[in-house]
Structure 1
Amino acid sequence: MLNIIRFIQNENMKIYKRIGTWVMVGVLILTVVIGGLVTKYMMNVYETEDWQLALQTENQQLTDQIAQLNDMEMGSAAQPLHHQISINEYRITNNVPPVESGTLWGFMMTVPDFTALASVFVIVIGAGIVAGEFSTGTIKLLLIRPVNRFKILLSKYIATLLFAVVLLALLFLSSFAVGRILFGFGGGQLPYLVYNGEEVVERSMITQIMSFYAFNSIDLVMMVTFAFMISTVFRSGSMAIGLSLFLMFTGGQVVQLFNQYDWVKYILFTHTNLSQYNNGTPIVEGMTMSYSIMMLCIYFILFIGISFITFQKRDVVA
């Protein structure tokens, strides 16, 4: 156990001594700052006091879109629009104004979308943490130590995940700081509304923000694990980065394109967005959260298993 801790510390030192790592951190913080400035000065959707009228107008637009989708025999794609109409009607009936984008909590609800950028950075680290040892020849120095290959690879994987945790924490804290400076401390008393499949329910704002981070982290962990596997198997950081980013940005679109087919239930990207159950609108009708969690576990075990088996069995002479 002590050896693994020392190896994790060593891997962390390698990560944070790189200039590129601090460039990633700077870019992430700068993105949050720019997002805050854009939100404050360009995206105040409900600035007028008559937010009820704005929601009524939005509902009429959504109704028109639903009619168009029905005419195109794409009724299933209209389901989220029906849910949004229900949420808007709930707000009007119960006098629950929307959480404006120009508030601290409204801004913080949008920042979890930036986890895609954090995912890119962690994929770069995960793709190079093994392949880089082979390209520089330092893998030999690791293997002459009295530590088995399993512990070496495990320490690299844990260090990669710890870097992901650092970026997510940085994203949360920087969004809070930027939001507090730009918008003050408002909006937290309002509930977050979701349609759970049967009715509109109210949820705590901070709880919902944390759930956004948790749900978005699933895709991050799976794609980083995939990049780690490709890096370990093929010893190529560029291949790991290229494949991982390609799948991360196209996987969801492929699922949406073919979601009418039953075989889509076995594709990884059908399950990485667990918020589909939180919102009551699963991508494939009839799927459950327990099934998606099971599929995620299967893919995770597959990626990790291939990584560790390959690293331990294959000749690793650089």
Structure 2
Amino acid sequence: MSKFFKLIKNEFVKMFKTKSAIAPFLILALLIIGIPVAGKMMSKEEAKVESKSDWKTSIIEDNKEIEQRLQMTKEQILATPIEKDPMLKNPDIEDYQKNAYHLEHDISTNTGAIGHMFGSLKFVSSVIFLMIIVYASTSVAREYAFGTIKFLLIRPVSRFQILMSKLVMVLLAALIFYIFSAVLGYIVGGFFEGFVAETYRTVDIVDGKIVEGSLIVELGRMIGFEVIELLPYVALAFFISILMKSVGASIGVTMFLNFVVSGLTFGLLRGYEWSKYILFMHGDLGSIYAGATVVKGMTLGFSIIILVLYAVVFYALSFVTFLKRDI
């Protein structure tokens, strides 16, 4: 077991002891700190007005703007059904009805630093996803490209342990990025919105209906969904990294599959019921949980099972290929 931990330590050094290792953290910090700061600087007058008004005044003004934008009355907007189909959804309708629910049930929108942390994690989650996919898609390919794969294989450890250590390190990297983003988001939120929240209750839309929830529960659910969504794509990236000895080719193929092919698949096949068995149709568990399914018959449990099954298959292919492949 000590040899396995040494492998993980070696992978950690490769990943975080290089000059470029600070780049992901700088990108995340820039997004988490820079965007709210820039927003305040670009709308100082608006910020002054908001700072003097309470949450009720703010959302009443937001709803008035939505009424003008939609050219509809309050009664008409509240009577409009919330669409379940993500392609037909109207964000203005959803925001208006959620705001009205906040006012009717006296649920403050001031969730303080925790709420800001939640928003920051949602905002940078796609960036973290991209970073982890790049790490996974190059983890084995760079060993071939730099010729270090031979030095790994002459060690008194199995190929299984070598590949498993890389997998563990990629998942640890994802955890590190999430913790960094959460802590920084909380600190930034404390400065902008206060460390003490007026409420930890949330108002959201699930299956076309407005429901109340807990901010802490939603935070845990979001992180859990992100981890589950990441598993099959990391496995796919590992498999491609093993097949492709070129770092550039490995990144290129992985990005092409994850963004181009997945986008085309989603757009062209979403109308067919059998497409629910395709990996790329299950990339947003949060939306599926909220009832915004893209294919008839999809449920949260079904999507999780599909993602886990794809992850198991890709990991199995990765290990079998790596164990049998000639160097």
TM range (shorter): 0.7 to 0.9
Matched pairs, number: 308
Check 1:18–1:302 CA distance in 2 against 1; reply closer, same or farther (3 A cut).
same
TM-score, normalised by the number of residues in structure 1: 0.84
Q: State how far apart, in whole Å, the 1-side matches of 2:237 and 2:14 are.
A: 18
Q: State how far apart, in whole Å, the 2-side matches of 1:78 and 1:54 are.
A: 22
Instruction: Kindly indicate whether residue 160 of structure 2 is the aligned counterpart of residue 150 of structure 1.
Output: yes
1:278 equivalent among 289, 309, 323: 289
Q: State how far apart, in whole Å, the 2-side matches of 1:126 and 1:11 are.
A: 12
Which segment is superposed worse, 225-234 or 201-210? 201-210
* CA positional deviation for 1:275: 0.7
Q: Is the Cα–Cα contact under 8 Å of residues 40 and 183 in structure 1 kept in the other structure?
A: no
Corresponding residue for residue 89 of structure 1? 100
Corresponding residue for residue 215 of structure 2? 205
2:270 equivalent among 259, 267, 284: 259
Q: State how far apart, in whole Å, the 1-side matches of 2:257 and 2:314 are.
A: 15
Corresponding residue for residue 139 of structure 2? 129
Q: Which runs of no fewer than 5 residues in structure 2 stay unpaired? A: none
Corresponding residue for residue 247 of structure 2? 237
Instruction: Kindly indicate whether residue 21 of structure 2 is the aligned counterpart of residue 21 of structure 1.
Output: yes
Q: Is the Cα–Cα contact under 8 Å of residues 190 and 205 in structure 1 kept in the other structure?
A: yes
Q: State how far apart, in whole Å, the 2-side matches of 1:264 and 1:300 are.
A: 18
Q: State how far apart, in whole Å, the 2-side matches of 1:206 and 1:92 are.
A: 22
RMSD of the TM alignment (CA)?
3.1
Corresponding residue for residue 3 of structure 1? 3
Instruction: Kindly indicate whether residue 117 of structure 2 is the aligned counterpart of residue 108 of structure 1.
Output: yes
Once the two structures are superposed, residues 80-114 of structure 1 have per-residue CA deviations (whole angstroms, 9 ceiling, x without a partner) of: 656555433322322334448xx534432321221
Which segment is superposed worse, 157-166 or 200-209? 200-209
Q: Is the Cα–Cα contact under 8 Å of residues 206 and 290 in structure 2 kept in the other structure?
A: yes
Q: State how far apart, in whole Å, the 1-side matches of 2:287 and 2:71 are.
A: 22
Give 3-state SS (helix, strand or coil) of 1:192's partner.
strand
* CA positional deviation for 1:8: 1.0
Q: State how far apart, in whole Å, the 2-side matches of 1:177 and 1:92 are.
A: 28
Q: Is the Cα–Cα contact under 8 Å of residues 149 and 312 in structure 1 kept in the other structure?
A: yes
Corresponding residue for residue 30 of structure 2? 30
* CA positional deviation for 1:211: 2.5
Matched to 1:130, the amino acid is: V
Q: State how far apart, in whole Å, the 2-side matches of 1:186 and 1:179 are.
A: 10
Matched to 1:147, the amino acid is: V
Instruction: Kindly indicate whether residue 280 of structure 2 is the aligned counterpart of residue 269 of structure 1.
Output: yes
* CA positional deviation for 1:50: 5.0
Give 3-state SS (helix, strand or coil) of 2:139's partner.
helix
> Counterparts of 1:45-124 in structure 2 under 5 Å?
47=50, 49-55=57-63, 57-58=65-66, 61=69, 77-79=87-89, 81=91, 84-99=95-110, 103-112=112-121, 113-124=123-134
TM-score, normalised by the number of residues in structure 2: 0.82
Give 3-state SS (helix, strand or coil) of 2:87's partner.
helix
1:196 equivalent among 201, 206, 209: 206
